Amino acid sequence: MTKLSIIIISFLIYLSDPTGLIAQTITVSGSVTDGGKEPIPGATIQIVSASTGAVADQNGLYTISGLPIGPAKIRVSCLGYLTIEQDLALGENKKVTQNFVLQESSVDLEEVTVTGKTMVREVKEKAFNVGVIDAKVLHQTSLDLAHALDRTSGVKVRESGGVGSQMNFSINGFRGNQVRIFIDGIPMDNLGSAFQLNNIPVGMAERIEVYKGVVPISLGSDALGGAVNIITNSYAKNHLDISYSYGSFNTHRTIVNAIYVAPKSGFTVQLNAFQNYSDNNYKMNDIDVADINTGAYYRDQTVERFHDTYHNETAIINMGVVNKPYADQLLIGATLGQNYKEIQTGARVSAVFGEWNRKGNIIMPSLKYIKNDLFTKGLNVRVNANYNAGYEQNIDTVNRRYNWFGQYKEYPNPGGENSYSLYKYRNNIGVTIANFEYKFKDRHTVALTNTLNSFDRKGEDELNPDNDEFNEPRKNLKNITGFGYTYEGESWNASVFVKNYFQENKFTKVTELEGYNQYEYTNTVNTFSSLGYGTALSWFLNDNLQLKASYESSYRLPESYELFGDLINLDGNINLKPENSNNYNLGSSFWIYPNKNNRINININGFYRHAKDFIRPRLNNNQVKIVMDNLGSVTNLGIDGEVWYQYKEALSIGANISYQDLRNNTQYEPGQTVESAVYRDRIPNEPYLFGNGNIAYTFKNLWRKGHRMNIEYNLRYVHAFYLYWPSQGSDKFDIPEQLSHDLTLTYFLNDKFQFTVEGRNLTDKNLYDNFSLQKPGRSFTGKIRYNIF
Amino acid sequence: MKKIHLLIILSGALLFGSCSDDEGDNPTPEEPVEESVSKYIITARPIASEGVADYILTVDDLKTGSISTEGNGIEQDGTYRYYVTGNNKFFSMLYGQGNPGAVTTYQLNGEGELELLSDFQSETVRAFAPVKEDILTIKITPSADNPYAYWYSINTNSLTIVKEGQINVQELADKENGELAFFSWITPKDDKVYLPYFTIKGTSEGGWGTDYPNEANIAVYSYPEMEYLETLTDDRTSFIGRYFTVGLSFDEKGDGYAFSSAVPQNSNWEVIPTLPSAITRISNSTGDFDDFYFDLEEASGGYVIDSHIYAGNGKFVGVMQKKSELSTAWGGGTEYAIIDVYNKTFKWISGLPDPTTITNITGSYNNFVSEDGSTVYAGITTETGSNVYSIDIATAAATKGLSVEGGQITAINHLETPASDE
């Protein structure tokens, strides 16, 4: 039904768009080169009169569409070049070609540095503590978004295995649902297993913004410790590229990015489609394999994973119009996808499965509306809405016990490997986010953001069709409203904001009555509401040195599955309270340009967090299931630093390191009057010192003009850490130090073709993210990418 | 040898019958007391809300001194573990939420240090006890979707699973509404094991609730064959034992004393009215319930029994809970009494902490009884810390002993260096 309605609505919009009604717009495109006709990538082309612009691509090419008829002033600037301005009269032709030649400047660098900044730097200059990954430079790799994030300072991604495995990531020590993920500003809450960061290729993204601590209210969610906002590719012109990679463990990945913009009507269709498949049959070393009958261990075996196939297929389609008087963007779309995952192990390596699997899909219609200068200049409106009607199913119907040799014993009666189940459920999650922003007198902006999440779980298990429990309401409504004010001064920015967090949960209380199997059902509603607030400041001491400070008192609301359980291993706790955290951040950025060929950027951030009422798992009363509860308090004092150096367009060297001192701040455990033995101890099972190093070199015009080769080396380091409280015991378990080396070689052929060979974990070290669950050893991948137009 | 056998009895459940048999067969030679080193094994768990592991500590004396888990002790992998001593070996078992996990085995070396013997893989179980040369473990289901209990015999010499099987607990319970038998614990005697059980609906709505609150059932199996022999039934009390709690102990004469906590529940985990908490008896001569009956609620003035520890000569230490404050079936009692079944007397133990300040007690089967049965060592955590209390059975007086800093005492065991002639 949903798919059909999207098509119909899109078609109606298309029909209701007679060309005469709408003012005609003009597209300007061309190249930016230096005196020697070499392209200048990253040059900024600004239409001064229309407050729009573009950044020149790797070939120095740019396109700006949607310009009104009439005179236009264009300003072109780039670091190390003199800025030029040119007046154009637009009107005669719908397509105008305008090439610019910039003169190198040896003086007056300071002025150019500000105007020549990239989008990446513009984001970094916001008052918030934000790290930005320029995803485009990673497009030649076979990385997924999670592994791209893992290269950012302060961010740690942890996985339980290979492609499609369970992952969680932390920002400055905050983890799980304390940090939130957004795609183009839309919260990615509970999108289901078909849409996870570690199965979305990096080629989908243009850049990734990582907010540490305080999150701007435009991302109106209940992120407590930070947020990741993935900005997807938005091409302003027709585009089609396809890439395919094949690698170790029978891993196939395909990505298609396509966009069509109708020249006259502004009708546009965007398609992002991707596919991942992997057998994940990598070797595990030093495994103690239990005899299937006696339980005796065969020591230190090397075994191959035998039940870990994963695949997903996802397409994101958006259709609509751009650059209309009533909308800058009005897009209706859908995310459609499915996934299948075999489950090889439990939380511990000793739990081996051979049949248990999960599958799910995503059917998510969405609406995107953007209009700037609505009614009056400076009033910008953005509305996004989506609804996920996809399902998840847990399939565990084979009553066997496996060991790591793949041997099993089978029991005759019905049962499962973990829990006998065919439980299938839909969470029916809807998200609507509306954003109003009004900028007045150039320097003042007020903003109002509202995010509404709804959840309504419906599930059934065909093994147990009469179970009325599945018919009880499991609904929740979450609303977060943020209001903020920002002042932008000459050299400083300041913003203050307040947020209201509201949650309403509907559920059934079952009471057993006197008599034989008699129950009474009472529908019950729980609500709570909390107020958070914060401020963020930034100050340019001079053009090359910026300081930032921010503070926030924020909340993280309980998740639906934490309130209602998953009906498998997790019991619900309807009385969970929100987590609360006070975050303080102090950061600085330096840009150093000794001359036009050398660029250095240094970022240093320090932070302090104090979080209370952590939502953490514990065993329920009779120790059968896990239940989430508000437990404990922690503080976190940390620092992360990043240095980046670039020589011309050829060499770049970067490194980052993060240290976080997460300490248990629960002085008295419930019911105790003596100080806890682990008060002020370091939080266990959490990496606290880790870093990344990266060096890349590009050979230009190799052998022939237009042929380039890029070679990149990446180093990952994680300091050893303890699995349990560091102060306790003398004979302890630890997760050893980890060091892994990746090498990527890419050959570009006239920017039409890219050929990449990639080696990950070259020294074939045993890598662990979660205790005893090994990740893949050395692997190789080949990738081809073709830019069709 | 005698000491070893006593250990088996005291640390797990009761197994006096097999013990006496063995003694009859092999008269104990001179004990090599001088050469043998012995240690108390304390397992402690720091009180914290995450990242918690148990630590194994060794001490010479339970009556005095202090130990700490800070920088001390062998870390046990996995937050929830259970312990049992059998054949002078200490078994540390992972409670893995239905998944298999490693069982780690230790024994004491000549220097009095714990030495890792081996580890092997076993299933997550909800009942375990030393039976003859084995440890019998049972994985019990609370779900009617899959009404089978799985049992495994772990040989304490080979340290492997030597036999396994399954029991259809729905058939065993044999109830009109399909309720399941859920074994509270395992009590061995001679060539049999006694499995007291309670019945639960096991459906997602019925949960741990029952429509049969007023009956006691004990399934009897042969060992090591684990062939079903009979079910002993009695209607004077509710079920025997409790979830994860031993409810039946045999004395030196071979009579079995069965303790009913009187805590059947409905699907909301609320305790429902039933017959009084009381002790009944399985006669050594007839092998079935006889007319012995001791009403504990009457004797204690309104308390039910949570768990018991058998000291010897018909005397038990009982952990009691005020019935008027009983809110769940999962225990929580903090008051201790001496129960003498031979004389049907009940006496509160003096010298223990104020019950309202007690936050945790060591599970009954994890406490320790001295060789002569005169003293029971019980772990108690209060608002101000954890201590081992020595309870003098004759006088019903307790004395505060060893202090365990920073953690709950999860088990108290005892090992000695294996005699060289074995």
Q: Which of B94, B47, B51 is nearest to B409 (CA)?
A: B47
Size of interface A-B (CB pairs under 8 A): 202
Convert the pLDDT of each residue in A90-103 to its tens digit: 776 777 888 888 87
Residue A439 counted as domain residue: yes
Convert the pLDDT of each residue in A570-626 to its tens digit: 778 888 888 888 989 898 988 888 887 888 989 898 999 898 888 877 767 666 677
Write the CATH number for A661. 2.40.170.20
Find the largest Cα–Cα distance for chain A. Answer: 93
Write the CATH number for A89. 2.60.40.1120
Q: How far apart are CA B225 and CA B218, in angstroms?
A: 18
Q: A165 with A77, same domain? A: no
Does pLDDT of A14 surpass 60?
no
What integer pLDDT is reported at residue A475 of this predicted model?
A: 87
Mean pLDDT of chain A: 82
Which of A83-87, A217-221, A487-491, B19-23 shows the highest mean pLDDT? A487-491
Which residues pair with residue A366 across a beta bridge? A333, A386
Supply A348's token pair.
Answer: 């511990």
Q: How far apart are CA A512 and CA A521, in angstroms?
A: 9
Q: A134 with A93, same domain? A: no
Q: How far apart are CA B308 and CA B411, in angstroms?
A: 15
Q: Which residue's structure tokens are 């930005």?
A: A132
Other CB atoms within a 10 A radius of the CB of residue B158 amount to 14
Q: How far apart are CA A440 and CA B383, in angstroms?
A: 60
Distance of CA A202 to the CA centre of its chain: 10
Cross-chain residue pair A290–B121, CB shorter than 8 Å: yes
For chain A, what's the residue count?
789
Q: Which residue's structure tokens are 């009471």?
A: A511
Q: Which residue's structure tokens are 């990734």?
A: A208
Are A420 and B143 within 8 A, CB to CB?
yes
Q: Which residue has the higher pLDDT, B344 or A614?
A: B344
b/e per residue, A486-508, with b = 16+ CB within 10 A?
A: beeeeeebbbebebbbbbebbbb
Mutate to test the interface with B, among A728, A731, A734 (most CBs of B within 10 A): A728
What domains can you pick out in chain B, each with its CATH number? 2-416 (2.130.10.10)
Supply A778's token pair.
Answer: 């050395």
What integer pLDDT is reported at residue A518 of this predicted model?
A: 66
Q: How far apart are CA A214 and CA A552, in angstroms?
A: 6
The DSSP code for A560 is: H
CB nearest to B122's CB, from A295, A685, A728: A295
Q: How far apart are CA B91 and CA B120, in angstroms?
A: 11
> How far B72 CA sits from the closest chain A CA (Å)?
4
Convert the pLDDT of each residue in B149-206 to its tens digit: 999 999 999 999 999 999 999 999 999 999 999 999 999 999 999 999 999 998 877 8
Convert the pLDDT of each residue in A170-197 to its tens digit: 787 677 777 888 888 888 765 666 667 7
Q: Report the chain B residue with the minimal C-alpha distance to residue A631.
A: B49
Residues of A in contact with B266 (CB under 8 A): 512
Does pLDDT of B259 surpass 60?
yes
Strands lying side by side in the sheet with A205-212: A130-134, A205-212, A226-232, A179-183, A186-187
Q: A135 with A104, same domain? A: no
Residue A299 counted as domain residue: yes
Convert the pLDDT of each residue in A711-750 to its tens digit: 989 998 999 999 889 999 999 988 889 899 999 898 888 7
Q: Report the chain A residue with the minimal C-alpha distance to residue B209.
A: A512
Q: How far apart are CA A252 and CA A199, in angstroms?
A: 12
Q: Is residue B228 helix, strand or coil?
A: strand
Q: Which residue has the higher pLDDT, A789 or B12?
A: A789
| ipTM reported for the complex, 2 dp | 0.84
Q: A615 with A717, same domain? A: yes
Q: Which of A259, A284, A267 is nearest to A204 (CA)?
A: A259
Convert the pLDDT of each residue in A664-692 to its tens digit: 998 988 888 888 889 999 988 888 999 98
Integer angstrom CA distances of residue A444 from A66, A498, A533 = 27, 17, 19
CA count, 13 A, side-chain hemisphere, A468: 11
Q: Report the chain A residue with the minimal C-alpha distance to residue B271.
A: A512
Does pLDDT of A205 surpass 80?
yes
Q: How far apart are CA A221 and CA A499, in angstroms?
A: 9
Cross-chain residue pair A677–B407, CB shorter than 8 Å: yes
Residues 6+ apart with CB under 8 A from B285: none
Q: Which of B275, B177, B272, B171 is nearest to B231 (CA)?
A: B171
Q: Does B330 touch chain A (CB under 8 A)?
A: yes
Residue A115 counted as domain residue: no
Are B104 and B116 within 8 A, CB to CB?
yes
Cross-chain residue pair A401–B100, CB shorter than 8 Å: yes
Q: A208 with A249, same domain? A: yes
Q: Give phi and psi for A230, each to the nearest 5.
A: -95, 120
What integer pLDDT is reported at residue A220 of this predicted model?
A: 72
Q: How far apart are CA B244 and CA B13, in angstroms?
A: 12
Q: How far apart are CA A197 and CA A135, in angstroms?
A: 14
Strands A626-630 and A570-571 come out as parallel
Mutate to test the interface with A, among B97, B168, B330, B354 (most CBs of A within 10 A): B97
Q: A104 with A125, same domain? A: no
> How far B139 CA sits from the closest chain A CA (Å)?
12
Does pLDDT of A567 surpass 80?
no
**pLDDT, average across residues A26-54:** 77
Q: Does B293 touch chain A (CB under 8 A)?
A: no
Q: How far apart are CA A572 and CA B299, in angstroms?
A: 40
Name all contacts of A773-778 with Cβ < 8 Å and 24+ positions apart.
A773/A160, A773/A161, A773/A345, A773/A348, A773/A349, A774/A161, A774/A284, A774/A285, A774/A349, A775/A159, A775/A161, A775/A162, A776/A161, A776/A162, A776/A248, A776/A249, A776/A280, A776/A282, A777/A282, A777/A283, A777/A285, A778/A248
Q: Is residue A482 helix, strand or coil?
A: strand
> How far A179 CA sits from the closest chain B CA (Å)?
19
Residues of B in contact with A416 (CB under 8 A): 146
B224 preceded by a cis bond (ω within 30 of 0):
yes
Q: A69 with A142, same domain? A: no
Q: A128 with A103, same domain? A: no
Q: How far apart are CA B409 and CA B388, in angstroms?
A: 8
What integer pLDDT is reported at residue A560 of this predicted model?
A: 82
Cross-chain residue pair B53–A729, CB shorter than 8 Å: yes
Amino acid, res. A659: Y
The proportion of chain B whose per-residue pLDDT surpasses 70, expressed as a percent, equals: 90
Residues of B in contact with A512 (CB under 8 A): 209, 266-268, 270
Last residue of a domain, one of A80, A108, A136: A108
Mutate to test the interface with B, among A349, A350, A664, A679 (most CBs of B within 10 A): A350
Cross-chain residue pair A517–B206, CB shorter than 8 Å: yes
> How far A648 CA sits from the closest chain B CA (Å)?
49
What integer pLDDT is reported at residue A13 of this predicted model?
A: 40
Q: How confident is the model at residue A532 (pLDDT cuts 50, 70, 90)?
A: very high
> How far A503 CA sits from the closest chain B CA (Å)?
26
The radius of gyration of chain A's CA atoms, rounded to the nearest angstrom, is: 27
Q: Is residue A634 helix, strand or coil?
A: strand
Q: Report the chain B residue with the minimal C-alpha distance to residue A675.
A: B406
Q: Report the chain B residue with the minimal C-alpha distance to residue A472.
A: B205
Does pLDDT of A18 surpass 50?
no
Q: A89 with A148, same domain? A: no
Q: Report the chain B residue with the minimal C-alpha distance to residue A623.
A: B97
Cross-chain residue pair A616–B49, CB shorter than 8 Å: yes
The proportion of chain A whose per-residue pLDDT surpasses 70, expressed as a percent, equals: 87
Q: How confident is the model at residue A16 (pLDDT cuts 50, 70, 90)?
A: very low
Integer angstrom CA distances of residue A699 from A59, A282, A704, B310 = 15, 34, 11, 82
Mean pLDDT of chain B: 88
Which residues in chain B (95-154) have CB-CB distances under 8 A to chain A? 95-103, 119-122, 142-143, 145-146, 148, 150, 152, 154
Q: Which of A522, A505, A508, A630 is nearest to A561 (CA)?
A: A505
Residues of A in contact with B177 (CB under 8 A): 516-517
Are B260 and B214 within 8 A, CB to CB?
no
Q: A251 with A136, same domain? A: yes
Residue A478 counted as domain residue: yes
Q: Which residue's structure tokens are 């798992």?
A: A617
Which residues in chain B (336-395) have CB-CB distances under 8 A to chain A? 359, 383-385
Last residue of a domain, one of A63, A84, A108: A108
Supply A48's token pair.
Answer: 């001064």
Q: How far apart are CA B366 and CA B409, in angstroms?
A: 9
Q: A328 with A383, same domain? A: yes
The proportion of chain A whose per-residue pLDDT surpasses 90, expressed as a percent, equals: 26
Are A476 and A455 within 8 A, CB to CB?
yes
Convert the pLDDT of each residue in A108-162 to its tens digit: 333 223 333 455 666 665 667 777 778 777 777 777 788 888 777 778 777 767 7
CB nearest to B75's CB, from A511, A512, A733: A733
> How far A660 CA sits from the closest chain B CA (Å)?
18
Are B179 and B201 within 8 A, CB to CB?
yes
Q: Which of A776, A625, A587, A694 is nearest to A159 (CA)?
A: A776
**pLDDT, average across residues A354-375:** 91
Convert the pLDDT of each residue in A569-581 to its tens digit: 677 888 888 888 8
Q: A80 with A141, same domain? A: no
Q: Does B297 touch chain A (CB under 8 A)?
A: no
Residue A783 counted as domain residue: yes
What integer pLDDT is reported at residue A110 of this predicted model?
A: 31
Residues of B in contact with A625 (CB under 8 A): 97
Q: Is A221 exposed, middle or buried (0-12, 13-18, 19+ CB in 10 A)?
A: buried
Full-model pTM = 0.79
Residue A555 counted as domain residue: yes
Last residue of a domain, one of A84, A108, A132: A108
Q: What is the dihedral of CA A146, A148, A152, A157, to 10 degrees?
A: 20
Q: What's the domain count of chain A?
A: 2
Q: Which of B332, B279, B271 is nearest to B310 (CA)?
A: B279
Cross-chain residue pair A729–B72, CB shorter than 8 Å: yes
Distance of CA A575 to the CA centre of its chain: 30
What is the extent of the structural domain holding A87? Answer: 2-108
Cross-chain residue pair A415–B146, CB shorter than 8 Å: yes
